[in-house]
């Protein structure tokens, strides 16, 4: 693990790391560096000490990152704690104000980790009322503090950190400190210097231009569209973009001090031009994006040369890409970087380094109070522009390439972007540590000893390995744990990892339907379409507040429905029966039919092939809202099916006569290698995509019961699935609550409840190395990367460094901040 907790304090005390370290308390918020921040008035936020937090304050490495603004410098502000915990020796460990009245500049004092040592500084060169970024880092030999990416103080250390007392809460905003506290992060390792600098130089702005000129970073620097620039279809990013007429269409964003990028810079945009600049009086260059009076700008110049430039000390430093990188009418991804302190500049086109240069003029990039503009720099853009980004850091070549290859459709053709990577520990099988509850009871099971289980951040119980519990819950409650947690019963809820922006289903019995919708990150506008009436205009539109739950009712019980959202949500359907969680529409999903499967398309002319584990296959083409029934089984006994499509589809499978649930087909990122039954089962059914995989069965005490080998699959066709059913009637052991299944390759799974006969989608996890890290799929001929190539559980509204490693995306390494 790396990131243990991150609290943005943007109107919430939730932990956005995926580890469930949510805070509680009655606090006040104010404007922050990014979004909102805590008012440092001593209104304490308490956080139970989970294993992930305990890992931070043990061993010999840790990193604490805080955005901080100190507004007062008096005696009463001295030693005001913003982060405090008790160690195992009973001592108080604090990050706090220092000798606050000694200077009008920022100060701090910290004694994290050591028995007696501390580091502190006064007069940090940050004025009163200015936001600054503070990092306290501990390695095996050094403890240091960093302000705005620069080391300001250090000392030698040795030995291990004095551990945290897990019986006492971690405390944030513990005393009045004459300050405001912004995003706070805890890492259980020492970040590198580059990583610290990346955290301090966050993305400055991102304008998707997908129908609005909204800034999608936390700065919220929204633009205004002038003179008729209009949304149009964007064939490269598979969503809307803006088209500009080359005359006067443009977007303006008012000045914000976030635009005062002085040390390092990256400008990035997707563009398509209808003209080739040719040095005529009115057409010698075209502006992509820039600051007025040219502190920095990105252009298409005469002869079809992309160029980037900055002014340093009044001198323009410009770099051009060769004209061979530009084609009229084609989409191009253009990235320009400049490091003012070294003079290094690079320009990339379509992921490739087109030119590099080192200027002798160095220093800082000039600043002014001008606005930011898109499609204007003396002359206007003629064509389309999409996904414009500005960073206060120079992206690496690896990051640029990743940005190009990943395009911008990372959440099932929604709008989540690479720079929003969150360093979350991998829990394949749908982020099986957090669930949105539906109904009054949550049946759960644990994988490991000492699993603390919470409902809405309040600890309910601690489970040992393969232990089970029945929790009292309400609709919209968050059930979470510090270790993998397994769920499944008549109303199992939805894993937060199943978030997406497009869902669909068919219902032909037990209507009307209540759809439970939970917004996992931001306020979401949700549209529900009844496809027989009008597949293109919503029957219902509702707004879901961030981290809140609403219900949407449908009236017809024999129709197909599509639900689309502008922000990630999770969805659970509750008709009269046939309860089921929904998996986001995707281009490849797998499962086992029950009484019958129903494939629904969300786009016109979607070609779908169903590959069965017996080697047969079937294909069809569906329009938006149409459905298809290629296979059926009885009691989930027969074949597994893998659906492969050229557009997003969904599939639910209706239970047969003895049960009242439906199960859901899902993609590889939902597959898991370990499952623990939360209730007794008649049978458990698996589907996978690797031949000859084994499933080992263990009783609730952990003793081995059996080992099975899957059937089906094909060495010549990776799309053919495998199948296995373990039925109590065909084995010598019982499938009791707590029974564990360990798979050698990731599997889809379901079970039938022994008591109610309800068929249930089974949520598992992959805590080890046996899980799918989906490869990056290169762009298709249309330039769209399939969203299923990415693991949505890894993405969130936060900045990070990331790398792809066997146990998931983690801070550091080869892939820098996107």
Of 153-157, 189-193, 414-418, 757-761, which has the strongest mean pLDDT? Answer: 153-157
DSSP 52-103: HHHHHTSTT-EEEEEEEEE---SGGGTT-EEEEEEBTTS-EEEEE--SGGG-
Cβ atoms of 52 and 181 closer than 8 Å: no
| pLDDT confidence band for 218 (50 / 70 / 90) | low
pLDDT confidence of 134, banded at 50, 70, 90? very high
Distance CA 27, CA 8 (A): 14
b vs e for 219-230, b when ≥16 Cβ sit within 10 Å of the residue's Cβ? bebebebeeebe
φ/ψ of 105, rounded to 5, equals -100, 170
- Which pLDDT score, from 0 to 100, does residue 56 have? 94
Is 801 strand, coil or helix?
coil
Euclidean distance between CA atoms 64 and 124, whole angstroms: 18
Sign of CA dihedral 576, 666, 410, 330: negative
pTM as predicted: 0.49
- Asked if residue 394 has pLDDT above 90, the reply is no
Q: And the tokens for 532?
A: 């027989």
- Identify whether the C-beta of residue 589 lies closer than 8 Å to the C-beta of residue 665: yes
Confidence of residue 577 (pLDDT cuts 50, 70, 90): low
Residue 301 confidence (pLDDT) above 80: yes
- Please indicate whether the domains covering 3-196 and 203-420 agree at the CATH topology level: yes
Q: What is the reported pLDDT for 44?
A: 94
Q: pLDDT class for 208, splitting at 50, 70, 90?
A: confident
- What residue ranges in 394-548 does DSSP mark as E strands? 434-436, 441-446, 451-455, 458-463, 468-472, 478-481, 485-487, 494-495, 500-507, 513-519, 524-530, 540-544
Which helix (H) or strand (E) element contains residue 568?
Answer: strand 559-574
The pLDDT of residue 699: 96
Query: What does the pLDDT read at residue 198?
Result: 66
Q: Is the peptide bond before 512 cis (omega within 30 degrees of 0)?
A: yes
Residue 429 above 50 pLDDT?
A: no
pLDDT digits over 625-639, tens only? 999 999 988 888 889
Compute the average pLDDT of residues 33-51. 88
pLDDT for 168: 93
Question: In this structure, which topology does domain 203-420 adopt according to CATH?
Answer: Jelly Rolls (2.60.120)
For residues 456-462, average pLDDT:
84
CB-based contact 604:584 (threshold 8 Å): no
* 415: confidence class by pLDDT, cuts 50, 70, 90: very low
| Residue 464: other Cβ atoms inside 10 A | 12
Q: Domain map of the chain by residue range?
A: 3-196, 203-420, 434-761
The whole-number pLDDT of residue 765 equals 77
Lowest mean pLDDT: which of 402-406, 585-589, 649-653, 791-795? Answer: 791-795
Looking at the chain, the whole-number percentage of residues with pLDDT higher than 70 is: 83
| Tokens, residue 92 | 């108080």
Q: Tell me if 758 sits within 8 A of 723, measured CB to CB.
A: no
Q: Encode pLDDT of 797-809 as tens digits.
A: 222 222 222 233 3
How far apart are alpha carbons 215 and 797 in whole angstroms?
A: 13
pLDDT over 50 (residue 783)? no
51: which DSSP letter? H
Is the model's pLDDT at 437 over the cut of 50?
yes
Q: Which residues contact 226 (CB under 8 A, 6 or more apart)?
A: 248, 249, 250, 251, 252
383: left (phi over 0), alpha (psi -120 to 50) or beta: left
Phi, psi of 670 (to 5 degrees): -95, -10
For the chain, what is the mean pLDDT? 82
**Cβ contacts of 257 within 8 Å, gap of 6 or more:** none
Tokens representing 176 are 């009045």
Distance in angstroms (rounded) separating the CA atoms of residues 612 and 643: 9
The bridge status of strand 711-712 relative to strand 672-676 is unpaired
User: Residue with structure tokens 């940090």?
Assistant: 124
Q: Is the pLDDT of residue 720 over 70?
A: yes
Least confident of 39-48, 551-560, 581-590, 653-662: 653-662
CATH code of domain 3-196: 2.60.120.200
| Of 531 and 764, the one with more pLDDT | 531
Residue pair 611/644 in contact (Cβ under 8 Å)? The answer is yes
**70-84, 566-580, 604-618 — which is least confidently predicted?**
566-580
- The neighbouring-strand residues paired with 367 are none
pLDDT at res. 511: 67
Q: Tell me how far apart the alpha carbons of residues 13 and 457 are, in angstroms, rounded to a whole number.
A: 10
* pLDDT confidence of residue 813: 27
């Amino acid at each position: 693990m790396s990131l243990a907790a991150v609290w943005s304090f943007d109107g919430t005390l939730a932990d956005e790391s995926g580890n469930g370290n949510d805070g509680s308390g009655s606090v006040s918020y104010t404007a922050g560096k990014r979004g909102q921040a805590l008012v440092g008035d001593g209104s304490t936020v308490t956080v139970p000490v989970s294993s992930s937090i305990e890992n931070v304050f043990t061993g010999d490495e840790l990193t604490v990152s805080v955005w901080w603004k100190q507004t007062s410098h008096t005696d009463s502000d001295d030693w005001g704690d913003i982060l405090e915990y008790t160690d195992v020796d009973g001592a108080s460990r604090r990050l706090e104000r220092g000798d606050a009245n000694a200077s009008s500049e920022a100060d701090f004092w910290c004694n994290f980790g050591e028995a007696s040592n501390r580091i502190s500084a006064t007069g940090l060169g940050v004025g009163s009322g200015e936001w600054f970024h503070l990092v306290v880092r501990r390695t095996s030999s050094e403890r240091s503090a960093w302000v705005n990416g620069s080391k300001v103080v250090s000392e030698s250390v040795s030995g291990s950190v004095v551990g945290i007392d897990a019986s006492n809460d971690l405390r944030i905003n513990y005393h009045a400190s004459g300050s405001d506290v912004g995003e706070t992060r805890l890492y259980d390792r020492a970040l590198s210097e580059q990583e610290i600098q990346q955290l301090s130089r966050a993305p400055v702005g991102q304008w998707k231009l997908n129908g609005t000129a909204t800034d999608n970073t936390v700065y919220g620097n929204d633009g205004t569209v002038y003179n008729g620039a209009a949304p149009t279809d964007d064939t490269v990013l598979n969503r809307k973009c803006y088209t500009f007429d080359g005359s006067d269409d443009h977007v303006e964003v008012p000045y914000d001090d976030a635009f005062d990028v002085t040390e390092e810079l990256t400008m990035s945009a997707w563009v398509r031009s209808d003209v080739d600049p040719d040095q005529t009086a009115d057409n010698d260059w075209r502006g992509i994006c820039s600051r007025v009076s040219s502190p920095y700008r990105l252009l298409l110049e005469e002869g079809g040369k992309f160029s980037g430039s900055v002014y340093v000390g009044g001198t323009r430093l410009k770099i051009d890409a060769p004209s061979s990188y530009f084609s009229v009418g084609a989409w191009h991804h253009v990235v320009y970087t400049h490091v003012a302190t070294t003079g290094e500049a690079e320009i990339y086109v379509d992921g490739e380094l087109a030119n590099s240069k080192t200027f002798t003029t160095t220093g800082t990039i000039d600043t002014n109070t001008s606005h930011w503009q898109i499609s204007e720099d003396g002359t206007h853009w003629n064509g389309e522009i999409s996904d414009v980004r500005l960073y206060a850091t120079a992206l690496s070549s690896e990051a640029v390439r990743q940005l190009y290859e990943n395009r911008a459709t990372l959440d099932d053709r929604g709008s989540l972007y690479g720079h929003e990577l969150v360093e979350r520990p991998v829990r394949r099988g749908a982020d099986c540590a957090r669930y949105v509850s539906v109904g009054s009871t949550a049946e759960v099971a644990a994988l490991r000893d000492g699993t603390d289980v919470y409902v809405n951040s309040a600890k309910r119980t601690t489970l040992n390995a393969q232990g089970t519990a029945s929790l009292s819950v309400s609709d919209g409650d968050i059930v979470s744990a510090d270790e993998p947690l397994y769920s499944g019963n008549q109303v199992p809820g939805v894993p937060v990892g199943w978030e997406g922006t497009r869902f669909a289903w068919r219902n032909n019995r037990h209507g009307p339907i209540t759809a439970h919708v939970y917004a996992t990150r931001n306020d979401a506008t949700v549209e529900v379409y009844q496809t027989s009436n009008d597949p293109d205009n919503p029957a219902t539109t509702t707004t879901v507040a961030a981290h809140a739950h609403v219900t949407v009712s449908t009236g017809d019980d024999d129709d197909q429905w599509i639900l689309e959202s502008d922000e990630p949500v999770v969805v659970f359907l509750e008709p009269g029966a046939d309860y089921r969680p929904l998996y986001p529409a995707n281009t490849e999903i797998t499962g086992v039919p029950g009484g019958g499967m129903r494939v629904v398309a969300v786009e016109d002319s979607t070609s779908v092939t169903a590959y069965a584990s017996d080697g047969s296959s079937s294909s069809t083409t569906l329009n938006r809202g149409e459905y298809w029934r290629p296979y059926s089984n009885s009691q989930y006994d027969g074949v597994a099916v893998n659906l492969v499509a050229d557009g997003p589809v969904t599939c639910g499978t209706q239970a047969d006569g003895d049960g009242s649930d439906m199960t859901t087909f899902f993609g590889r990122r939902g597959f898991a290698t370990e499952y623990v039954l939360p209730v007794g089962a008649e049978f458990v059914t698996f589907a996978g995509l690797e031949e000859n995989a084994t499933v080992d069965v263990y009783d609730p005490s952990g003793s081995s019961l059996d080992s099975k080998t899957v059937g089906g699959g094909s060495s010549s066709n990776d799309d053919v699935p495998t199948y296995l059913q373990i039925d109590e009637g065909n084995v010598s052991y019982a499938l009791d609550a707590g029974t564990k299944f360990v798979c050698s390759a990731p599997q889809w799974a379901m079970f039938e409840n022994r008591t109610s006969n309800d068929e249930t989608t089974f949520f598992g996890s992959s805590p080890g190395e046996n899980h799918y890290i989906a490869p990056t799929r290169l762009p298709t001929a249309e330039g769209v990367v399939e969203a299923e190539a990415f693991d949505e559980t890894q993405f969130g509204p936060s900045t990070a460094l990331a790398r792809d490693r066997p146990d998931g995306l983690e801070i550091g390494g080869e892939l820098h901040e996107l």
